[in-house]
């Protein structure tokens, strides 16, 4: 039975970097967690907007907006009775400099503003279990709200009639994070596999690859033309451990199995070994690439399992969870008074 809610004229406003309704104009995390969610919530009777803050919204969801001006905005909205939700999609609970690839930055100013938003938030929604684990230390109302995959858009399905030779492995993400794909050089050099990279611009790699410029409209078809999703990632730091499952979930939704590093959110969807495999060591990567190359039945079996494993993370299912959180917030009477003082946050920044 579906979940039914009374139609509400109260506004639910996402506070995001751009008011555009074009996914190509947004960071991936923004269209994943707002644009593709809005139609499902509107079907349930909620009035959803992007950056429209007058009249005063019932709930304001801050996503990728962590500046000093955003702290002032959240404080003003809260003083007028708006419930504040902070979306946490990367780990800004810690100060760290970028790695050698140039991503994963959180300076002291960003951290300070982020922690002030944590203070102001009535509830925090985290994109991964690891981020929730960290956020629980700073706030009493923290919920794991996974990234989701919209089955209406990602509606293609892979059919393994004949496995490609070479095997076409696919990866999608921000170009600066593609460096880990160099690990597939042994298979690429002997023509056992070909590499497809879907990104905003061509990454600098040491291996040959086919580049496809990312486009929201074309993304479903670009995915289904791959045979296997690969998601190698460093997992020895609190930035990479915090990432969501979308990178592999979007492939799995269309029946493309995945091999992935043991990032906690990846383990949610692949931990039982159905629909692909979590590769914890270089030896396991070698083993499972060879299995995919030498046993054509593996990909066919994993394909159906991948679709089933990704089903709990459909946008329809996650929108129902968000609808429940919205109703909970609308009925909240008490407010969270943060125990974090300015002195505490400044002390963290200076350490």
pLDDT of residue 272: 82
pLDDT of residue 128: 97
Whether 284 contacts 183, CB under 8 Å: no
User: Which residue shows structure tokens 């692909």?
Assistant: 276
- The number of beta carbons lying within 10 Å of the beta carbon of residue 206 is 9
pLDDT of residue 334: 42
Query: Could you give the CA distance from residue 216 to residue 40 in angstroms, rounded to a whole number?
Result: 18
Q: At what angle are helices 282-294 and 296-310 packed, to 10 degrees?
A: 110
Residue 335 clears pLDDT 60, i.e. is over it:
no
Average pLDDT over residues 255-284: 95
pLDDT tens track for 157-206? 999 887 778 999 999 999 999 999 999 999 999 999 999 999 999 999 99
Question: pLDDT category, 102, cuts 50, 70, 90?
Answer: low
Domain boundaries, the chain: 11-148+314-350, 167-313
Whether 11-148+314-350 shares its CATH topology with 167-313 is answered yes
At the topology level, CATH places domain 167-313 in Rossmann fold (3.40.50)
Chain mean pLDDT for the chain: 90
Q: Which residues pair with 351 in a beta bridge?
A: none
pLDDT of residue 252: 98
Question: pLDDT category, 96, cuts 50, 70, 90?
Answer: confident
DSSP string computed for 13-47? EEE-S-----GGGS-HHHIIIIITTHHHHHHTT-E
Average pLDDT over residues 50-78: 95
Question: pLDDT category, 337, cuts 50, 70, 90?
Answer: very low
pLDDT tens track for 288-333? 999 999 998 999 999 999 999 999 999 999 999 999 999 999 887 5
Query: Does the domain spanning 11-148+314-350 belong to CATH 3.40.50?
Result: yes
pLDDT of residue 103: 66
Record the pTM: 0.90
pLDDT tens track for 199-232? 999 999 999 999 999 999 999 999 999 999 999 9
């Amino acid at each position: 039975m579906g979940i039914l809610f009374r139609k509400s004229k109260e506004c639910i406003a996402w506070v995001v970097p751009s008011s555009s309704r074009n996914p190509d104009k947004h960071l991936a995390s923004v269209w994943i967690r707002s644009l593709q969610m809005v139609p499902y919530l509107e079907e349930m009777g909620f009035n959803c907007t992007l950056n429209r803050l007058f009249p005063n919204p019932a709930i304001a969801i801050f996503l990728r907006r962590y500046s000093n001006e955003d702290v002032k905005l959240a404080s003003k909205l809260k003083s007028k009775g708006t419930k504040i939700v902070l979306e946490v999609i990367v780990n800004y609970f810690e100060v760290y400099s970028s790695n050698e690839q140039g991503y994963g930055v959180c300076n002291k100013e960003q951290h300070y503003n982020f922690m002030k938003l944590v203070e102001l938030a009535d509830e925090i929604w985290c994109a991964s279990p690891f981020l929730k684990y960290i956020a629980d230390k700073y706030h009493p109302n923290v919920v794991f709200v996974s990234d989701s995959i919209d089955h209406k858009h990602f509606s293609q399905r892979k059919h393994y009639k004949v496995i490609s030779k070479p095997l076409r492995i696919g990866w999608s993400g921000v170009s600066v994070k593609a460096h880990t794909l160099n690990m597939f050089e042994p298979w690429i050099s002997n023509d056992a596999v070909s590499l497809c990279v879907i990104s905003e611009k061509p990454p600098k790699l040491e291996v040959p690859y086919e580049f496809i410029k990312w486009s929201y409209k074309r993304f479903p078809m670009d995915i289904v033309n791959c045979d296997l999703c690969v998601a190698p990632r460093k997992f020895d730091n609190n930035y990479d451990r915090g990432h969501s499952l979308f990178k592999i979930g979007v492939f799995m939704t269309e029946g493309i199995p995945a091999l992935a590093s043991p990032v906690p959110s990846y383990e949610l969807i692949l931990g039982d070994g159905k629909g692909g495999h979590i590769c914890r060591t270089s030896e396991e990567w070698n083993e499972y690439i060879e299995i995919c190359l030498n046993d054509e039945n593996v990909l066919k079996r994993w394909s159906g399992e991948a679709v089933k494993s990704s089903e709990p993370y459909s946008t329809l299912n996650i929108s129902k969870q968000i609808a429940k959180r919205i109703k909970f917030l609308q009925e909240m009477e008490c407010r969270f008074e943060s125990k974090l003082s300015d002195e505490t946050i400044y002390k963290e920044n200076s350490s």
